Structure 1
Amino acid sequence: MRQFRALPALFILLLAFSLHAGPSRAQTDSALQDAALLVADQVLVENDNRLIATGNVEALYDGTRLTAARIIYDQDSDSLTLEGPIYITDPEGNVLSAETGEVDSGMRNGLLRGARMVLDQQLQLASVEARRVEGRYTQLSRVAVTSCQVCGNNSAPLWSIRASRVVHDQTERQLYFENAQLRILDVPVFYLPYLRLPDPTLDRARGFLIPSIRSTTLLGFGIKVPYFIPIGDDKDITLTPYLSPVTRTLEARYRQAFRYGNIELNGAITRDTLISDGARGYFFVTGSFTLPRDFKLKFNIKTTTDDAYLNDYDYSGANRLKSDLTVSRFRRDEMISASLRHYEILSDSESNATQPSIISSAEYERRYFPRFGGEIRLGAELHNHFRYSTLDVDSDDDDTLVDGRDVTRLNADISWRDRWTLAGGIRAGALGQLWIDRFWVSQDSTRPANVSQLTPAVAVDLRWPWARAGVNGARWLIEPIAQAGWIGGERVQVTNDESTRPEFDEGNLLSLSRFPVPDRRERGYTSALGLRILRDNPAGLTAGLTLGRVWREEDDSDFTRSSGLSTATSDYLLAAHIDTSNGLVLTARSLFDPADQSVAKAEARAIWSKGLMDLGAAYVLLPTDPDEDRDQAQSEWSFDGKYQFTNNWAASAETRYDFADQRFAKTGLDIEYQNECAVVNFSASRSYASSDSLVPSTEFGLTVALKGFSTGGSAGEYRRSCR
């Protein structure tokens, strides 16, 4: 018996099986490594050099699977003649089908007639013939390409690309088109002599990304065409020219991944007709890295050439830019953090010279558990804020905008706390604390240059939790809370630079000092009462309510009116949340005084997510408060929502309305159509700027993405069936 060269294990086993069993379904076991496997209903051998397999033929070789109605192997030419329907599936899952063809025994070279190729179960390429070359290239002639579902010969796809020749590089995962013609519903709309596109299995390919059309009242009608450039596996850059009658802008994004972190740079440079003096632009950098000994490094740098640029080009709506660098480490019983921040103000109402622009701080906290019980905490903070202004604060100067005060403070504290369970299930807690503060003040003749203080404090609290299990797995908790405390010492002569926006909420109801920063501390005797009610049911309604009030020895003028703490008896704090099983979540918080029926502050948020709909609404009320530089009340309502009308159509909208000014702050509408082969997105928005440096603008946007290529996203989840 002669041995076949190309597929030795396959044909020896097949021949032996056929001689003993006669014409029937023949198959090999998991043959030798790098050998082939053949399954067929019938196998015949002619003249010791020709093998014919017919009936449900399947061949496996080197990860490639071939199925056909009939395969003829000729040993002299070392080739396979195939009769269809033929399907060849490579190790990546790409499918090549044909009617007839000839390939070599390794299925690396050959010619297929009436070929159809499907990449990643998405992109379809139909051609008159396909030629396989070196197991890497597939050359298709007279090709029609689409990822749309085509039903029947008379059904035109939403989009297709016709080309005289297409080459698929399986190694580089690229598609090269010659004489490419883009068609919409079979109507030619665009022609390119040469075109290169990544196949759907490639995530990062050099080339153009999805362009977008943008039209605004400020910049006119323009187009953005991003170009992506991979630089190895760890970094890439995206360049996006933005052209309109008003502007010539080049946007850029650079990303790089390191072994222990990553960095991203975003920026743009512009020449436009909005201003006459030179170029405009912005530059943002973000990054994070893991350092030795569990430390983390994070940084964020932002800058721009002028106050209006970011708003004009819709890069950011912030009224100030915050740059920061932070090194931190958080462990179970230890916290270390050091940061450096810089603020750049973009609004007309504030000055970069007189606002704290450079802020540095370092914090440390450690806790211990001594043998005698309880917990000991040690903490320290070093802080400095710097103003660019070099003018001294003079009490005789009526112009407070020239303040140049700089402050450095060192705050340290030591505390001990413990908790016990008393008779009847009452939980009792005790706290003893000592603060040590030192302040250095410069460029402020109205205050001492440096001061120090020691502040002792003690507090006891009682909690009486009542718990009950309800029906259907619900659990109830009702917990009255009471606290009594004392804070000693006298307030030193340090200007309130940082604790200018104190908040009274459920998080600091039992705090000994409700100022956000230790440049201020409460003094004297204090007490608090609260009630917490909680219903928890994972399968039904979960709700919570917190009610509280604080009493102090005397009024504190450093608390603002809207903080709810400006008088010795605080406003009532009411906070509630509701979470239903049908996707509705409600949260609300309010400070109100029943004596004069006034509301110091109120906010509410509602979210409803169910089925095809996602809705969100929020309301914020802030009354007038000269201490917080708010000369008129702020009352704003916002809404955002999305509704999926069908599997293909969706719409989303957002709006903000200022009740105090009786005007819209921003409105927007977004409509999206998506099917198995395309995504079309149309957006419209209107910004109503209130600053003198910002101009109201209306913007329209349109993007169209063709699915099936790596730039257009997956097409599989919207695949439909033909009836």
Structure 2
Amino acid sequence: MRLSTLALCALLALPSLPNAQEASTAAPALLVADSVFVESQDRLVATGNVEALHDGTHLTATQIIYDRATDTLEIIGPIRIVDPQGTILVADYATLDQEFKNGLLKGARMVLDQQLQLAAVEARRANGRYTQLSKVAVTSCQVCGDQAVPLWQIRAKQVVHDQQERQLYFDEAQLRVLDVPIMYLPHLRLPDPTLKRARGFLVPSLRSSTLLGAGIRVPYFIPFGDHKDLTLTPYLSPKTRTLEFRYRQAFANGDINIAGAASYDTLISNVLRGYVFADGQFNLPKDYKLSFSANAVLDASYLNDYNISDQDRLQSRIGVERVKPLEYSWAELTHFETLRALEDNDTQPAIALSFGREKRFFPSMLGGELRVGAEVHGHYRYSSIPIDSADLDLVVDGRDVARFNGEISWRDRWTSGFGLQAGVSTHLWLDHYVTRQDNTSDDNVTRLTPGVAVDLRWPFQSRSGNGGRTLLEPIVQYGWVGGDRPKNPNDESTRVEFDEGNLLSLSRFPAADRREHGHQLAAGLRWRHISPQGWDAALTLGRVWRQDQDPDFSRSSGLQGKDSDWLVSGQFTHPSGLTLSARGLLDDTGRTNKAEASAAWSNDRLDLTASYLLLVADSAEERDRAQSEWTFDSTIRMTQHWSSSYEARYDLADQRLDRLGLGLQYRNECVQVDFKATRKYASATNLEPSTDFDLTVALKGFSTGGSAKEYRRTCAH
């Protein structure tokens, strides 16, 4: 008998080959040994450092004996078999048929996906699919030394591994922690770590809340084929009976995700409570993309009571858009629902529809760039009560608005020989507004509005000898928009942001129901330095001077007077992971009307973010007092296995904590423990203070607990 034939017989015993027919058509095997000889014409013996390679599977042993009369393999260990999927089978002694469909292994140990270890007194192979292990200890914890005890293990009378279904079946299973029994289960089924989507229970979590009491969440995962699944999570406590759900489905051209919950609790007796959040996106023909989100809740306090979301306004939308190099088209339908106690859904814009298109041309005869665009927008309120000039309470408002805005513009830019850049843009807007149920404005208004802007930039750039680069760029723009403001209501542009993005804009209103008119002058200075050491700093200063004051600009917009506030913005990044950014609006006295700042620092041991926000009192924005707050979030990796997280929100105006959170995580190669405590204090949007505690313990190595191979330790010898 040839050596390749013997090697083939031995390799038929490996899990990677399901039957002899497949093995017979596979590539020739390779057998390497110190000595090979034949006994009695029927026995072939290979001894000494035996290695067999076949179709990606590697077998090592001390001795292999093939008996042609009984057609069996006797393998003397230490035996080690590694298949292409990474499954490792170790044994002291094995007697197997040549196809390894049936056989016995003594002192067997199996390692699945380099994580889960199964040690047994003996193992039997059956039908080339099942491995039955007797008197088994199962763990993913690294055990060093004969006397070491794993952090956790499952002891079982018998474990059957179904190689085809990738499942583990336990009989008379006992969960032990530090070798102390804590749970007994007569039967248990768990997916092996190579199965990523297995039907069954996921990692449970314990939760304690001052509103809902102490309870447990037990997720159950149900896959439907390879492309959709459903997760059902009962949440039980003395004060609630809740069923959470999540449905996901992937299609060839998109995906959808639906999450929600239904509850009966003692907070609102005998009333069904719940929510549904859904979103998805799809690729349509001709490069169009469809996206949608649907958000609904049965009562306004549910999301806060169950710590699901901090949203106080829900938005549901469906939209289609297409982006091409010279064209942008979109259409969107949106529904809004407010959860704020001081807002009425009947008087808030509930349904909004908008669609439009913009296209760019580069005419060779005219030069420059020509843009043509149009937008249609409308929004509807459920209320049918019109607003009247005599109304003292403007909340009673059923105003409905529609508008058409068309624009044609031409722009070009030139650069002189000494670096001075000049740009010009001309605009012509056609606006038509339709207003219903508002006695303070005209029903129909149409305006044709021209505009022009001329800007000059003179960038100065220098490069130092060590490779650093510095840019200094002064900018000035003159703009003019003709006509005057039509008598249509300001229903969309009530919140204006003055920032670097619209410093040189002819209109700084966020929507086209308002435009700036008259003459204006904008000037700015931009500075940036890139250091050869890798840090980068930038600073922007800017201001706008207008011919006339615009009454629709609020104080906190920074644009209320003829002269705007000074816009100051800066950014800094460093290779160490530090990022700083700040922006503020300062008046001539140096007083801040609006400010925001953020800082982030990220490295191998730390993720830290902090932010600051200041908004002055502004009746035009329905803010009767200043608002100011700090927020802080961090994650600290204290050691390889321990990490902690912190969060805090402090209201500087009220001088009180708004939210405080603490998290602690321990993770090694076989377990992950997560603990989180959150305290939400009473506020205008959170009437009931609450404290929540969450604890999750996941056993690593099974599909349900996830992988932790990156934490695998090695034993010191």
In structure 1, the partner of 2:5 is 7
In structure 2, the partner of 1:703 is 696
In structure 2, the partner of 1:526 is 520
- Distance change (3 Å), C-alpha of 1:384 and 1:126: same
Q: Residue deviations 1:482-508, cap 9 Å, x none?
A: 111111001011111110001110111
Helix, strand or coil at the partner of 1:102: strand
In structure 2, the partner of 1:556 is 550
Measure how far apart 1:662 and its partner are: 1.4
Q: Which amino acid aligns with 1:405?
A: R
In structure 2, the partner of 1:23 is none
Looking at structure 2, the residues matched to 585 and 497 of structure 1 have their Cα atoms a distance apart, in angstroms, of 37
- Distance change (3 Å), C-alpha of 1:399 and 1:464: same
State yes or no: 1:432 paired with 2:430.
Answer: no
Q: TM-score, normalised by structure 2?
A: 0.96
Q: Residue deviations 1:381-420, cap 9 Å, x none?
A: 1000111101011112222111100000000000000000
In structure 2, the partner of 1:712 is 705
In structure 1, the partner of 2:259 is 266
Measure how far apart 1:445 and its partner are: 1.3
In structure 2, the partner of 1:36 is 29
Q: Residue deviations 1:242-286, cap 9 Å, x none?
A: 000000000111111111011111111111111024211111111
State yes or no: 1:338 paired with 2:336.
Answer: no
In structure 2, the partner of 1:15 is none
In structure 2, the partner of 1:198 is 191
Measure how far apart 1:473 and its partner are: 2.2
Q: Residue deviations 1:438-485, cap 9 Å, x none?
A: 000000111111010011001110000001112432211100001111
In structure 2, the partner of 1:492 is 486
Looking at structure 2, the residues matched to 5 and 648 of structure 1 have their Cα atoms a distance apart, in angstroms, of 49
Q: Which amino acid aligns with 2:375?
A: E
State yes or no: 1:140 paired with 2:133.
Answer: yes
Q: Is the 8 A contact 2:701 2:708 kept in 1?
A: yes
Looking at structure 2, the residues matched to 247 and 145 of structure 1 have their Cα atoms a distance apart, in angstroms, of 36
Relative to structure 2, which stretch is displaced further, 682-691 or 384-393? 682-691
Measure how far apart 1:10 and its partner are: 6.2
Q: 1:674 aligned to 660, 667, 671, which one?
A: 667
Measure how far apart 1:62 and its partner are: 5.2
What does residue range 506-655 of structure 1 map to in structure 2 within 5 Å? 506-537=500-531, 539-594=533-588, 596-655=589-648
What does residue range 381-530 of structure 1 map to in structure 2 within 5 Å? 381-530=375-524
Looking at structure 2, the residues matched to 228 and 610 of structure 1 have their Cα atoms a distance apart, in angstroms, of 35
Q: Residue deviations 1:564-619, cap 9 Å, x none?
A: 1000011100000011121111000000012x332110000001113311111100
Helix, strand or coil at the partner of 2:706: coil
Looking at structure 1, the residues matched to 421 and 516 of structure 2 have their Cα atoms a distance apart, in angstroms, of 26
Looking at structure 1, the residues matched to 565 and 27 of structure 2 have their Cα atoms a distance apart, in angstroms, of 81
Looking at structure 2, the residues matched to 148 and 425 of structure 1 have their Cα atoms a distance apart, in angstroms, of 67
Q: Is the 8 A contact 1:238 1:254 kept in 2?
A: yes
Q: Which amino acid aligns with 2:404?
A: L
Q: 2:271 aligned to 269, 278, 283, which one?
A: 278
Q: Is the 8 A contact 1:9 1:31 kept in 2?
A: no
Looking at structure 2, the residues matched to 538 and 231 of structure 1 have their Cα atoms a distance apart, in angstroms, of 55
In structure 2, the partner of 1:22 is none
In structure 2, the partner of 1:358 is 351
Measure how far apart 1:36 and its partner are: 3.2
Looking at structure 2, the residues matched to 114 and 599 of structure 1 have their Cα atoms a distance apart, in angstroms, of 76
Looking at structure 2, the residues matched to 468 and 6 of structure 1 have their Cα atoms a distance apart, in angstroms, of 72
Looking at structure 1, the residues matched to 329 and 532 of structure 2 have their Cα atoms a distance apart, in angstroms, of 37
Q: Is the 8 A contact 1:393 1:445 kept in 2?
A: yes
Helix, strand or coil at the partner of 1:7: helix
In structure 2, the partner of 1:17 is none
Q: Which amino acid aligns with 1:259?
A: A
Q: Is the 8 A contact 1:684 1:701 kept in 2?
A: yes
Helix, strand or coil at the partner of 1:532: strand
Q: Which amino acid aligns with 2:680?
A: S
What does residue range 96-115 of structure 1 map to in structure 2 within 5 Å? 96-115=89-108
Q: Is the 8 A contact 2:579 2:601 kept in 1?
A: yes
- Distance change (3 Å), C-alpha of 1:139 and 1:6: farther
Q: Which amino acid aligns with 2:146?
A: N
Q: Which amino acid aligns with 2:587?
A: D
Q: Which amino acid aligns with 1:607?
A: A
* Aligned-pair identity (%): 58
Helix, strand or coil at the partner of 2:395: helix
Q: Is the 8 A contact 1:308 1:694 kept in 2?
A: no
Q: Which amino acid aligns with 1:488?
A: G
Looking at structure 1, the residues matched to 685 and 282 of structure 2 have their Cα atoms a distance apart, in angstroms, of 40
Helix, strand or coil at the partner of 2:710: helix
Q: Which amino acid aligns with 2:456?
A: L
Q: Which amino acid aligns with 1:271?
A: Y
Measure how far apart 1:515 and its partner are: 0.7
Looking at structure 2, the residues matched to 277 and 547 of structure 1 have their Cα atoms a distance apart, in angstroms, of 59
What does residue range 127-206 of structure 1 map to in structure 2 within 5 Å? 127-206=120-199
Helix, strand or coil at the partner of 1:172: coil
Looking at structure 2, the residues matched to 73 and 44 of structure 1 have their Cα atoms a distance apart, in angstroms, of 11
Q: Which amino acid aligns with 2:72?
A: S
Helix, strand or coil at the partner of 2:423: strand
What does residue range 190-269 of structure 1 map to in structure 2 within 5 Å? 190-269=183-262
- Distance change (3 Å), C-alpha of 1:553 and 1:145: same
Helix, strand or coil at the partner of 2:418: helix
Helix, strand or coil at the partner of 2:450: strand
Helix, strand or coil at the partner of 2:564: coil
Looking at structure 1, the residues matched to 434 and 335 of structure 2 have their Cα atoms a distance apart, in angstroms, of 21
Helix, strand or coil at the partner of 1:402: coil
Q: Is the 8 A contact 2:4 2:29 kept in 1?
A: no
Runs of 5+ in structure 2 lacking a partner?
Answer: 10-22
Helix, strand or coil at the partner of 1:324: strand
Q: Is the 8 A contact 1:419 1:429 kept in 2?
A: yes
In structure 2, the partner of 1:85 is 78
Helix, strand or coil at the partner of 1:400: coil
Q: 2:678 aligned to 685, 705, 712, which one?
A: 685
Q: TM-score, normalised by structure 1?
A: 0.95
Q: Which amino acid aligns with 1:45?
A: V
Looking at structure 2, the residues matched to 620 and 692 of structure 1 have their Cα atoms a distance apart, in angstroms, of 18
Count of aligned pairs between the two proteins = 702
Looking at structure 1, the residues matched to 289 and 26 of structure 2 have their Cα atoms a distance apart, in angstroms, of 48
Q: Is the 8 A contact 2:4 2:31 kept in 1?
A: no
